[in-house]
Structure 1
Amino acid sequence: MPEISVPGSLPFCIRVMMTVNTTAAQNQMEHIYLNEAKKLRPDLVQE
């Protein structure tokens, strides 16, 4: 679906949401953000 125009947003950003059944705990999940997409969720990015 088209994304609304937001000042300062990332151009050509493709967002993917996956639902996965797992026995792993939430703190064992690793969120992957590539390149400039790290700006979207700085609270989840581990340097």
Structure 2
Amino acid sequence: MWKEIGTTVRAAMRDWGTTMRLCVLVVALALAAATVMWGLAS
């Protein structure tokens, strides 16, 4: 019982970490694109 809960929580945390990394990557790419656009526009 507790072992199953622990495994589920660990899997959820791992997935959450992956999701967070993807979000950070997307935000970083968006900022980079915005910076390039801003540089080209000015």
TM beyond 0.5:
no
Whichever of the two has the greater Rg, that structure is 2
- TM (normalized to structure 1)? 0.15
- TM (normalized to structure 2)? 0.16
